[in-house]
Chains A and B, each alone.
Chain A
Amino acid sequence: MKIIHVCISVLFLLLLFWQVQTYLPYQLCQLEHTNLFVGDWDFFLPSLNKLGGAVQWLGTWGIQFFDKPIWGVLMFLLPVYGLFAITACLLRRKGKSSGLWMFLAGWVAVAQLFSLYDFNFYWSGAVALCLAMSALWVLSFFKANLLRNLLFILCIPLITWLLGSVVLVYVLAGICLLATKKDAWLTLLAPLAVCVGSIAGAYWLGGCSSLMAAVSPLLYFAPLLDISYYHLLPWVLVVLVWGSARLLSKVDIKKKVLALTVYFLGWIVPSVALVQYGSTFRNQSNIDLWRLNHYAYTDNWDAILQFLQSKPMNNYLFMNYVNMALAQKGELGNWAFNYSPKGMNALLVNANSTGSIRMLASDIHYMVGCVAEAQQHAFEAQVTFPTSLGIQTLKRLVKTNLIFGHYEVAEKYLNLIAKTTFHKEWAEKYRTYLYNDSAIEADAELGMKRKGLSKQNRFAMFYGWQQELEDILEACPQNEKAMNYLGLSYLLNKDMEGFGRFLDKYYGTETLQKLPPVFQQGVIALFQQEKDKWENYNLSPQVVNLYNQYRDLFFKNQKNPNLKNVMVRSYGYTFWYYLMFV
């Protein structure tokens, strides 16, 4: 029987692993990118002033592993596995029937995992619950009642301070597990009194922002957001399961068939719930965005294109990422209309107060050479993070400050990054650029950006982005990305007059010696009736032939009410289609 328990438990844990590995890896990456663990006492000690601050600090420590393949998933699942293990062990130990009720541990684990699916629920909440119940589990081994009960009570203020509101679960589960009629005052009244006193004291002393946070999972939830009730489920289940462990130990199903049915059904229920209903608790659209952000952070532009190939281009964020990836690969001029863009926002979405959107804006600005805006958006993104520090944004801030020659600020950020576990080498590498103009100017990335800093100063986006892109091209005519974005901005806005001015200014110069296919299509659209002007732009025969085919098909189906569908099938990726039908 023991072997069956072990095998089923292992299978169940593998199922959890598979679920997270399949559906959540980019959520874990996003957590890592938007946090920063600094190995310094001065970052740890202030956390002790807050209710549950120690476990929040521990949470930040764990999150730094999240972007590591396999290990990241294991770290993420560690508190879930821990809670499962101690619950299962407790039930098995208490169970007369040697583990019949062990499946309840699976219910607890799934409930906790569902909670963790919510990006806004801090991982430290799961860690806190696991640690609190671990303390209770250890206490349950003490045979001496008085010692056990005293330790149980003494741990309450400590758990309150270090782990936070999860102390309520510890106390309620502990009372149910340990309380006796004989020592009712010690096992029931005293723990409750100490718990209330600890929580009230912590709130009174300013350890948490609200009383509700002091007594609920709200303490482990992003501030200002509405928390769903299902986050209470792990707490309720833990109290019920642990609390009824003693009761369950007296229940033994004599009929083997029935016992086995109950046992296996008990395992099947959480497994099915996990597989069937897990998606209800995940936010897939956010996960897609985080995936794209991770690819951008790791310069994996092919992955972006591959991922978005199969996605309907129904939002500007996807369009922004695809255009950025194409530009990074030098392919924007070839495939700009291949991914169904729509208007100028397809190049640069309006930034709002979301960290992810601000980071995207920072990426795009940085890519084209608008370094000040890249810096601004990275800083704003960072402000939205739980600890107001994130490794992805900090790295951007280091680079932008180096480019501007703000070495003291760059050094400040590098000193922080140097205290992390996995990024200190990056910090040491970039430290060599401090106060070293020649090293920066020699660097392919930083040097190019510094060279491309506009000679003009403007107020960002006040008169539109096009003016700033022109400034960048004035400083660095070879900036192909800025050039593509500028030309494309006219085409996406269907501003043919503007596109004409763009051609007049840049075609034939260092900036635009040869027109990419998309711009050639723009030329044809601009000078549709003036074919003699086409020669001036060295249009390729392929583009001209494509246009002739497009025009023939168009005229052939002019009266067809289904004209748009006919055209999109063969020419949906062309600028002409965009101009006429989007």
Chain B
Amino acid sequence: MMKSLLYSLCLGVTMWCLVSCNQELNIVGRLEKASPLVEEYADVQLPPNIASLNFLVKATDGQEGIVLTFGDIRLSAICKDGAMIPELDGWKALLANAKGNKIQVEHCVLTSEGWKAYQPFEIEVMQEEIDSYLAYRLIPPGYEMWNEMGIYQRNLENFEETTILNNTNSDRNCMNCHSFCMQNPEQMQLHLRAKHAGTLLINGGTITKLDTKTEQTISALVYPYWHPSGKYIAYSVNDTKQLFHTHHQNRIEVMDLASDVVVYDVEKNEVVTAPQLFNKEVFETFPSFSPDGKTLYYCASHQQKIPDDLEKLKYHLCAISFDPETRTFGDKVDTLYHAERMDKSVSFPRVSPDGKHLMFTLADYATFPIWHQEADLWMMDLQDGSTFALDALNSQSVESYHSWSSNSRWVVFSSRRMDGLYTRPYIVYVSADGTVGKPFLLPQSKGGFYEKCMNSYNIPELIKGKVDVNRHELIQQALSEEKKQVTSRI
């Protein structure tokens, strides 16, 4: 009796699993109108190695579904917790087969007569893969205080997220500005602030903790960008202040009272700079190198009275040549985008690894665009210097920090379009001429994930593989008060 009961139970569970996993959806009819998903998903371009796309809907569980078809392959998913998410293995097989082609998508609703489909639309699977990992910091979109935060990495080919470093292991200090050399997970740096302050430099398994504050610089090193050779890291140094609006669409304003740009020599453990980057009457910030390492891009604004003239703070996009052999800079500074003339302000200049395009964030003023609802992403064609707004991916809310994939075909960027406050990562295809496709939200394994997620995704950085540093050694170094003092040649 017991045996047969157990057998029936096992059989029932197996059947349930099979049914759940398969999620067969038989379409009995067609609705003569376009799916409400068209605006968000039609013609979206996907990397062939991405995890299952989440088709988000506001529907009761089981009432809507999706059928994806390419050739003989048919995959369906039924709505659960506000999303239709195809099963991962089936999705991977579908994408592998549809590489370079388009997949037909039929969005269905369950009627009294059965499943009926809207007019189908298509999504495209591109040839080029995206870098397999994404690193980011998770932190509530707060003001001054923090509690738990950490830097994590997500495998984009599935839904696995692992911790690189969490501040519960380092007395709840602040950690930020994780940065990688040319998307290389073996060369990275990140800052620790407040308790156990310092900069952790991870270079092929070796972890070094640096004290980056020197007498000549106004602060410890802040916004980083690696030289492609891995021998240098460009940094800004900033005296930053935060103020809060009493009635404004932007809750917070973060501004620099002073800032400069320096370059840190990793091998010699010293910082160098040039007068053009270290001018007391100019705020220089957000440095980044070109992929050939011979040009340093940065943002610069004339000094203004803060906070009264904050809206006059317009950061230009500038460039200066850099000789990595001699660590010297050119005499001339080129202004690539004249912010005052355009009445805008540039942040986060990032050159594509193929050197053809430069993406940047444009806001109305100042230098912390994540809190500017009007902030958008723009592109500069480095061949002819023309700039254009990336209308296909910009929204009514903020688009800000962005990161290129190593093949220059994909960009991850931060956006608050979902609710205006919580930052989410979006992925978009960039074609060779710099035009962008329709972005899609970083997929998750479950519907309702982002609704329940009370953290923002901060500084999303694409990396070619998993950061595989020894976790205990990283924690030990994070807690260590023994730091290598950075010297200055300023």
Q: When chains A and B are docked, how far (Å) is the Cα of A380 from the Cα of B140? A: 10
Confirm or deny: A353 has a beta carbon within 8 angstroms of a beta carbon on chain B: yes
Q: When chains A and B are docked, how far (Å) is the Cα of A415 from the Cα of B419? A: 13
Confirm or deny: B200 has a beta carbon within 8 angstroms of a beta carbon on chain A: no
Confirm or deny: B421 has a beta carbon within 8 angstroms of a beta carbon on chain A: yes
Identify the closest chain A residue to B307 (Cβ). Answer: A459
Partner of A412, one of B146, B253, B422, B449: B422
Is the beta-carbon distance between B145 and A383 smaller than 8 angstroms?
Answer: yes
Confirm or deny: A510 has a beta carbon within 8 angstroms of a beta carbon on chain B: no
Confirm or deny: B341 has a beta carbon within 8 angstroms of a beta carbon on chain A: no
In B441-471, which residues have CB < 8 Å from any A CB?
446, 448-449, 451-452, 454, 471
B135 vs chain A, min Cβ distance (A): 17
In B147-169, which residues have CB < 8 Å from any A CB?
147-148, 163, 166, 168-169
Is the beta-carbon distance between A389 and B246 smaller than 8 angstroms?
Answer: no
Partner of B247, one of A383, A385, A408, A457: A457
Identify the closest chain B residue to A455 (Cβ). Answer: B247
Is the beta-carbon distance between B452 and A40 smaller than 8 angstroms?
Answer: yes
A contact residues around B422 at 8 Å (CB): 409, 412
B77 vs chain A, min Cβ distance (A): 19
Task: Say yes or no: A454-B421 contact (C-beta < 8 A), given A383-B142, A462-B307.
Answer: no
Is the beta-carbon distance between B140 and A388 smaller than 8 angstroms?
Answer: yes
Contact bitstring A461-494, B, C-beta under 8 A = 1, else 0: 0100000100100000000000000000000000
Segment of A126-134, A246-254, A318-326, A368-376 engaged in the interface with chain B: A368-376
Q: When chains A and B are docked, how far (Å) is the Cα of A373 from the Cα of B419? A: 20
Contact bitstring B255-267, A, C-beta under 8 A = 1, else 0: 0000000000000
A contact residues around B472 at 8 Å (CB): 204
B contact residues around A416 at 8 Å (CB): 452
B384 vs chain A, min Cβ distance (A): 40
Is the beta-carbon distance between B246 and A379 smaller than 8 angstroms?
Answer: no
Partner of B244, one of A224, A372, A388, A471: A372
Identify the closest chain B residue to A385 (Cβ). Answer: B147
Is the beta-carbon distance between B244 and A373 smaller than 8 angstroms?
Answer: yes
B451 vs chain A, min Cβ distance (A): 6
Contact bitstring B164-183, A, C-beta under 8 A = 1, else 0: 00101101100000000000
Is the beta-carbon distance between B449 and A42 smaller than 8 angstroms?
Answer: yes
A-B contact count (CB 8 A): 98
A122 vs chain B, min Cβ distance (A): 15
Confirm or deny: B15 has a beta carbon within 8 angstroms of a beta carbon on chain A: no
Is the beta-carbon distance between A412 and B144 smaller than 8 angstroms?
Answer: no
Partner of A389, one of B307, B449, B454: B454
Confirm or deny: B243 has a beta carbon within 8 angstroms of a beta carbon on chain A: yes
A contact residues around B145 at 8 Å (CB): 353, 380, 383-384
Task: Say yes or no: A376-B143 contact (C-beta < 8 A), given A415-B451, A454-B246, A457-B245.
Answer: yes
Is the beta-carbon distance between B243 and A383 smaller than 8 angstroms?
Answer: no
A165 vs chain B, min Cβ distance (A): 15
Is the beta-carbon distance between B147 and A388 smaller than 8 angstroms?
Answer: yes
Is the beta-carbon distance between B471 and A206 smaller than 8 angstroms?
Answer: yes
B contact residues around A415 at 8 Å (CB): 451-452
Q: When chains A and B are docked, how far (Å) is the Cα of A416 from the Cα of B166? A: 25
A contact residues around B248 at 8 Å (CB): 372, 457
A350 vs chain B, min Cβ distance (A): 13
Task: Say yes or no: A224-B171 contact (C-beta < 8 A), given A206-B471, A372-B251.
Answer: yes
In A405-420, which residues have CB < 8 Å from any B CB?
406, 408-409, 411-412, 415-416
Is the beta-carbon distance between A223 and B172 smaller than 8 angstroms?
Answer: yes
Confirm or deny: A555 has a beta carbon within 8 angstroms of a beta carbon on chain B: no
B contact residues around A370 at 8 Å (CB): 246
Is the beta-carbon distance between A468 and B246 smaller than 8 angstroms?
Answer: yes
Partner of A380, one of B142, B251, B446, B452: B142
Is the beta-carbon distance between A409 and B421 smaller than 8 angstroms?
Answer: yes
Partner of A372, one of B146, B247, B418: B247
Partner of A459, one of B163, B169, B171, B253: B253
In B228-242, which residues have CB < 8 Å from any A CB?
none
Is the beta-carbon distance between B246 and A383 smaller than 8 angstroms?
Answer: no
Confirm or deny: A458 has a beta carbon within 8 angstroms of a beta carbon on chain B: yes
Task: Say yes or no: A458-B142 contact (C-beta < 8 A), given A206-B471, A224-B172, A388-B147.
Answer: no
Q: When chains A and B are docked, how far (Å) is the Cα of A406 from the Cα of B169? A: 35
Is the beta-carbon distance between A43 and B244 smaller than 8 angstroms?
Answer: no
Confirm or deny: B100 has a beta carbon within 8 angstroms of a beta carbon on chain A: no
Q: When chains A and B are docked, how far (Å) is the Cα of A388 from the Cα of B144? A: 14
Confirm or deny: B420 has a beta carbon within 8 angstroms of a beta carbon on chain A: yes
Most chain B beta carbons < 10 A, residue from A43, A204, A383, A415: A383
Q: When chains A and B are docked, how far (Å) is the Cα of A416 from the Cα of B448? A: 11
B contact residues around A408 at 8 Å (CB): 418-421
Is the beta-carbon distance between B243 and A460 smaller than 8 angstroms?
Answer: yes
Is the beta-carbon distance between A406 and B421 smaller than 8 angstroms?
Answer: yes
Confirm or deny: A456 has a beta carbon within 8 angstroms of a beta carbon on chain B: yes
Confirm or deny: A453 has a beta carbon within 8 angstroms of a beta carbon on chain B: yes
Is the beta-carbon distance between B148 and A459 smaller than 8 angstroms?
Answer: no
Is the beta-carbon distance between A459 and B168 smaller than 8 angstroms?
Answer: no
Q: Give 6 A-B contacts (CB < 8 Å), ordered by A residue.
A: A206-B169, A223-B171, A370-B246, A385-B147, A411-B419, A462-B307
Which are the 6 A-B pairs with shortest beta-carbon distances?
Answer: A408-B419, A459-B243, A209-B168, A460-B244, A457-B248, A383-B145
A interface residue numbers (CB < 8 A to B): 40, 42-43, 204, 206, 209-210, 223-224, 353, 370, 372-373, 375-376, 379-380, 383-385, 388-389, 406, 408-409, 411-412, 415-416, 453-460, 462, 468, 471
Give 13 A-B pairs besides A42-B446, A370-B246, A406-B419 with Cβ atoms closer than 8 angstroms: A206-B163, A376-B143, A376-B251, A384-B147, A388-B454, A408-B419, A408-B421, A412-B419, A416-B452, A454-B246, A460-B245, A460-B246, A471-B246
B interface residue numbers (CB < 8 A to A): 140, 142-148, 163, 166, 168-169, 171-172, 243-248, 251, 253, 307, 418-422, 446, 448-449, 451-452, 454, 471-472
